[in-house]
Homo-oligomer: A and B are copies of this chain.
Amino acid sequence: MTRQRRVILEEIRRFDGHPTADEVYEAVRKRLPRISMSTIYRDLEALCEWGKIQVLEVGCSKKHFDADTNNHYHARCIRCGRVTNLPVQPFTYLEQAFRDLCDYKVIGHRLELIGLCPDCLKQQKEKQRQAATEPVEADKKG
């Protein structure tokens, strides 16, 4: 357990929500300015293998990292990509139900809620209010 890995783990634990690799990088860089992105990726992988963190493969493109390795569900903001926990125990009965319905060997399941996070919801309402007040520019056609 090197200095870098310790700091990475601490920053993931401290993070509000579940950071992506570059969010981890930005946070860690404040304490270890010379750390490189490849170290971030390599150490994230190592921490996963040691069971210290888990990867959240929510949505596509970017991976998120979570210091809580217990199974739990997440909500994902469709606008900013933020990922937060859902305060419920996973429904394990779902897996048993699906075992009878498909020919896969079931290992686990993932459930994610798609929506707008409070911040983005606020911004969206703000925009709608502005749109209702201002003259309608979009209707000008020529």
Contact = CB atoms under 8 A, between A and B. Distances in A.
Interface of A: 55, 57, 59-63, 75, 77-78, 84, 86-88, 94-95, 97-98, 101-118, 121
B105 A115 contact: yes
Dominant secondary structure at the A interface: mixed
Identical chains bound together, number: 2
B116 A104 contact: yes
Given A60-B60, A60-B61, A78-B107, A102 B114 contact: no
Contact of A98 (B97, B106, B113, B121): B113
Contacts of A55: 60
A101 B114 contact: no
